[in-house]
């Protein structure tokens, strides 16, 4: 969608190579799920060598809520594609690269049901454990981030793919992958920038794509490790909810920033409070089991 975000292209290539391989997990994924893969959603932007926009100067990732068949045909086609599945999309990954932030991370959605919010965060947490390039502290699941306006553009994230597809399908597993484009800088687990040489390469981005798929497979298997982490993430989601609702009256610019920092980062929390887990059970069973095989 944004032609300059090359890390996303490499991540998709990694996914495609893995999915078509004879790897045991890839075979299992192919047997259990139908993958709908749409590369290059902004072909005219690619052709023109644009960094972000299409040939009409539009950031297409702001039009999914009301796509026009003439002006945003690729967004319109995605909408038809989702509708053709009767909105039974189990998971959705939109691949991007972040121009400013110096790490790789996921954006998810704010979901009112704590169990489903925990489920949504679980994938990001598990991926960060499997993939050292993914920085969990930079992941964002806040409500505010689902509608925030872009700098210098009068558009909001209300129209971005992960938010709109989540609203169409109710899937908790709708994400934007942001591949950091600063290959010599990354953010460590404490949120501190580290400088070095070639943290990110084509192979790194490809491996992030592969790990997104293998982590997804891992998350849906029964295991003590995943079940324990799921409980932790439900507790974490409950804490995020409390902090977000308490922060509603914070309005000044400075405080807004502070609030966002609290809501988005994970390092503020320890997961020792198991008391809240009681109410939560894994959400997977209450969610549509994915597309039937054709």
Q: Check if 178 is active-site.
A: yes
Q: Is 2 in the site for Zn ion (CB under 5 A)?
A: yes
Contact between 203 and 210 (Cβ < 8 Å): no
- Pick out residues in 83-112 that bind Zn ion (CB under 5 A): 96
- Using CA of residue 9, residue 11, residue 14, residue 19, what is the dihedral sign? negative
Both tokens of residue 267?
A: 């390092």
Give least dist CB 291 to Zn ion, A: 26
Residue 11: name the closest of 215, 174, 205 by CA.
205
First-to-final CA distance of the chain: 28
Residue with smallest beta-carbon separation from Zn ion: 96
Binding mask 170-209 for Zn ion (x = CB under 5 A): ----------------------------------------
Residue among 34 and 56 whose Cβ is closer to Zn ion = 56
Q: Is 10 in the site for Zn ion (CB under 5 A)?
A: no
> Looking up tokens 């400088």, which residue turns up?
195
In terms of phi and psi (left: phi > 0; alpha: psi -120 to 50; beta: otherwise), the region of 252 is beta
Residue 129: name the closest of 212, 28, 18 by CA.
212
Q: Using CB under 5 A, which of the segments 1-9, 43-51, 113-121, 223-231 binds Zn ion?
A: 1-9
Give least dist CB 98 to Zn ion, A: 7
The values of phi and psi at residue 140, to 5°, are -135, 125
Q: Using CB under 5 A, which of the segments 3-11, 70-78, 102-110, 149-157 binds Zn ion?
A: 3-11
Give least dist CB 30 to Zn ion, A: 28
Residues 5, 178, 232, 241: which is the catalytic one?
Answer: 178
Residue among 2 and 115 whose Cβ is closer to Zn ion = 2
Checking DSSP bridges between strand 105-107 and strand 91-98, what pairing results, if any? unpaired
Give least dist CB 177 to Zn ion, A: 10
Contact between 62 and 160 (Cβ < 8 Å): yes
Catalytic residues: 178
**Could you list the residues that contact Zn ion (CB under 5 A)?**
2, 5, 96
């Amino acid at each position: 969608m944004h032609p300059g975000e090359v890390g996303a292209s490499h991540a998709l290539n990694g996914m495609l190579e893995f999915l078509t391989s004879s790897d045991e997990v890839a075979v299992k994924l192919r047997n259990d799920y139908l993958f709908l893969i749409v590369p290059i959603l902004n072909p005219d932007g690619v052709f023109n060598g644009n960094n972000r926009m299409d040939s009409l100067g539009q950031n297409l990732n702001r039009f999914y809520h009301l796509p026009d068949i003439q002006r945003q045909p690729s967004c319109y086609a995605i909408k038809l594609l989702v509708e053709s599945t009767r909105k039974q999309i189990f998971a959705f990954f939109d691949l991007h690269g972040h121009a400013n932030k110096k790490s790789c991370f996921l954006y998810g959605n704010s979901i009112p049901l704590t169990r489903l919010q925990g489920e949504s965060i679980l994938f990001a947490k598990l991926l960060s454990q499997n993939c050292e390039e993914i920085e969990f502290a930079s992941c964002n699941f806040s409500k505010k981030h689902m509608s925030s306006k872009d700098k210098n553009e009068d558009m909001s994230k209300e129209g971005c793919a992960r938010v709109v597809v989540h609203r169409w399908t109710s899937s908790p597993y709708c994400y934007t992958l942001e591949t950091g484009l600063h290959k010599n800088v990354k953010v460590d687990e404490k949120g501190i920038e580290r400088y070095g040489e070639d943290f990110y390469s084509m192979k790194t981005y490809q491996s992030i794509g592969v790990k997104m798929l293998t982590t997804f497979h891992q998350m849906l298997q029964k295991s003590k490790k995943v079940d324990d982490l799921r409980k932790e993430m439900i507790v974490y989601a409950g804490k995020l909810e409390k902090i977000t609702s308490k922060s509603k009256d914070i309005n000044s610019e400075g405080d807004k920033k502070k609030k966002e920092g609290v809501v988005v980062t994970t390092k503020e929390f320890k997961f020792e409070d198991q008391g809240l887990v009681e109410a939560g059970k894994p959400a997977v069973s209450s969610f549509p089991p994915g597309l039937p095989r054709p």
